[in-house]
């Protein structure tokens, strides 16, 4: 087996920043799923669907802005 290479502080900081992104994305996806907006096919007019999803994503983005995430 190969010996593990010791990571520098810069590499550790980069890995930590890189690992945060999927967590934020998972939280956003969970927020979308709470509204059940993407759980089922939307059968009404496309224009209304775009309006509702835009409003929903605006609310989620606002919550992210307020929480600092």
Query: What is the C-alpha separation between 69 and 30, in angstroms, rounded?
Result: 14
CA nearest to 31, candidates 5, 69, 2: 69
Look at residue 59 and tell me if it is in a domain.
Answer: yes
**Could you tell me which residues come within 8 angstroms of residue 52 by beta carbon, excluding any fewer than 6 positions away?**
37
The CA-based angle 8-25-29, given to 5 degrees, is 160
* Average confidence score pLDDT of the chain: 80
12 pLDDT exceeds 70?
yes
pLDDT by residue (tens digit) across 33-52? 777 766 777 777 777 778 88
Look at residue 66 and tell me if it is in a domain.
Answer: yes
Look at residue 62 and tell me if it is in a domain.
Answer: yes
Look at residue 50 and tell me if it is in a domain.
Answer: yes
Look at residue 64 and tell me if it is in a domain.
Answer: yes
**Length of the chain in terms of residues written:** 69
Look at residue 29 and tell me if it is in a domain.
Answer: no
Domain span including residue 61: 44-69
Q: Count of domains in the chain?
A: 1
Identify the pLDDT of residue 9.
Answer: 93
Look at residue 25 and tell me if it is in a domain.
Answer: no
Tokens 């009404």 -> residue: 44
């Amino acid at each position: 087996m190969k010996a593990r290479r010791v990571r520098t502080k810069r590499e550790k900081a980069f890995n930590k920043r890189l690992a945060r992104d999927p967590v934020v994305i998972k939280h956003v996806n969970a927020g979308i799923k709470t509204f059940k907006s993407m759980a089922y096919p939307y059968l009404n007019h496309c224009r209304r669907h775009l309006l509702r999803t835009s409003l929903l994503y605006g609310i989620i983005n606002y919550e992210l802005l307020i929480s600092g995430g």
